[in-house]
Amino acid sequence: MRVLFTSFPGNTHFFNSVALAWALCAAGHEVRVASGPELVDTITRTGLTAVPVGSAETIKEKTQRAMEERDHGSIEQWLKQAGSPQSPLAKTQAPLSGWENLSRLYDVAIVPGASVMNDSMIDDLVAFSRWWRPDLVLWDAASYAGSIAAAATGAAHGRVLYSHDTDATMRAEFVRLRDLQPPGDRRDPLREWVTGWTEKYELEFSEDLFNGHFTIDQLPPSFRVDTALHYLFMRYVPYNGPAVMPEWLWSTPAVPRVLMTFGLSGRDWSHQQVMSIERIQKTLDAMADLDIELVVTLQDELRDQLSRIPGNTRVVNFVPLQCIVPSCSVVIHQGSPGGFNISLLHGVPQLVISIAPDAHLKSEHLDEFQAGLAIPPAEVTAAKIRDGVVRLLEDPAFQAGAQRVRQEILGQPSPGELVPELERLAARYRR
């Protein structure tokens, strides 16, 4: 069969699907990956075939232009107006913060975000899909262009989650609250946005455009959000770009290794940076007397801003997570899907400092299973990070809890084992 993967041009979102794309290739299926031109080189470096769709304007440029057009100013100002991920609006587990706040979140954040990430790709993606005729479209959960293209060509389609399914829980709560309003007050900004595209292609509206015919979830069973949707569960297989294993990783560390990394996305998006260079310096100083090997990933220009690097600390520009995490005793990260999932996969206790929309869920699950700790960014201090690391290293309950979660993950189907079920669902849903 022909399988089309779609993602807006976000590296980490695309990386989440690479293992599954190759599993389908290995099973003999034709696979294409469609995204904006800025992601083409990233796609082709995986060995997969890229299909550039949409304008050459980057996501960052589109986002800034959209904010200026809406008088939101900078991205940071827009997030503050929308309700930052640290506000109650981010808590997408019911009960939410009421109809007015949820409607406002859709108006000033969710729909503008969907438009920025998808609008420029849709026409090209539909044109390509009508020519190539995919049997199955697998779309990153933020990339509704994929569901629209699938509907326009009669293909089966499913979402690929990158984290907790906060989109589905929030959508279900929005629809529930909307239907309780007087008939004249039941405005639905997300439906209005997607209906502009369905009318253009003479398609019927369906909630499947937001939820897919099914959803692929890579979280361990105990960490999942409960919804009424159809889920397929798959073991997380890490990929974070071309990788070279440095020589210093070829031996077992003599003391506990602690990794502190704040991901790739924060390098380009200042609003996603959870730690200033000043706070990083204070954190290195606070842990300088610990009998650990602290590995910190920092781009060169930030490393040059450090006043000092303690003797127990190694600062590197980049290290592939799949190469270093298995040797770690603790991982400190910003709550990205890559850092979170790979730590769970290898049974490594983690300390999360996250502004992600599902940060509260990560915190709750880590606490429930004693697989790690979380500190809200607004409460972060060097002393709290040090105390968290010491606690994770010294309390064996965290290692035991992380290992229990690892066993859950290893019990899930691999991407290759999921392929026959995808073949069955493609046959069931395609028209």
Q: What is the pLDDT of residue 63?
A: 82
Mean pLDDT, the chain, rounded, equals 91
Contact call for residues 162 and 143 (beta carbons, < 8 A): no
Q: What is the pLDDT of residue 38?
A: 96
Q: Where are the domains of the chain?
A: 2-235+412-429, 247-410
Q: How many CA atoms lie within 13 A of 431 on its CB side?
A: 7
Q: Express each pLDDT in 147-201 by its tens digit.
A: 999 999 999 999 999 899 999 999 999 999 999 999 999 999 999 999 999 999 9
The beta strands (E) that lie in 203-318 are given as 214-217, 231-233, 257-260, 293-297, 313-316
Q: Express each pLDDT in 103-159 by its tens digit.
A: 999 998 899 999 999 999 999 999 999 999 999 999 999 999 999 999 999 999 999
Q: Distances in Å between the alpha carbon of 273 and those of 213, 356, 382?
A: 35, 11, 16
pLDDT at residue 401 tops 70: yes
Q: Express each pLDDT in 197-234 by its tens digit.
A: 999 999 999 999 999 999 999 999 889 888 889 999 99
Q: In 83-110, which ranges are continuous DSSP H helix?
A: 99-105
Token digits for 353?
Answer: 């400092």
Q: What is the pLDDT of residue 98?
A: 87
Per-residue burial over 390-414, b if 16 or more Cβ lie within 10 Å, else e, is: eebbeeeebbebbeebbebbeebee
Token digits for 377?
Answer: 């960014």
83 against 306, higher pLDDT: 306
Q: What is the pLDDT of residue 425?
A: 98
Q: DSSP state, 409?
A: H
Instruction: State the pLDDT confidence band at 64, using cuts at 50, 70 and 90.
Output: confident
pLDDT at residue 17 tops 70: yes
Q: What is the pLDDT of residue 330?
A: 98
Q: Express each pLDDT in 265-291 by its tens digit.
A: 555 544 456 788 999 999 999 999 999
Q: What is the pLDDT of residue 59?
A: 86
Instruction: State the pLDDT confidence band at 385, using cuts at 50, 70 and 90.
Output: very high
Q: Express each pLDDT in 26-60 by its tens digit.
A: 999 999 999 999 999 999 999 999 999 999 999 88
CA distance 87 to 126: 37
Q: Express each pLDDT in 313-327 by its tens digit.
A: 999 999 999 999 999
Same topology, domains 2-235+412-429 and 247-410? Answer is yes
Residues 6+ apart with CB under 8 A from 383: 286
Q: What is the pLDDT of residue 96?
A: 46
Q: What is the pLDDT of residue 286?
A: 98
pLDDT at residue 14 tops 90: yes
CA distance 142 to 161: 9
pLDDT at residue 384 tops 80: yes
Q: Across residues 332-343, what is the average pLDDT?
A: 94
Please state which of the four CATH numbers 3.30.750.24, 3.40.190.80, 3.40.50.2000, 3.40.190.10 is assigned to the domain occupying 247-410.
Answer: 3.40.50.2000
Contact call for residues 255 and 240 (beta carbons, < 8 A): no
Token digits for 185?
Answer: 């007050």
- Residue found by looking up tokens 């606070």 in the block: 286
By CB atoms closer than 10 A (0-12, 13-18, 19+), residue 431 is exposed
Instruction: State the pLDDT confidence band at 409, using cuts at 50, 70 and 90.
Output: very high
Q: What is the pLDDT of residue 268?
A: 55
Q: What is the pLDDT of residue 353?
A: 94
pLDDT at residue 82 tops 70: no
Q: What is the pLDDT of residue 65?
A: 79
Helices (H) and strands (E) in the chain, counts: 20, 13
**CATH numeric code, 2-235+412-429:** 3.40.50.2000
φ/ψ of residue 114, rounded to 5: -60, -40
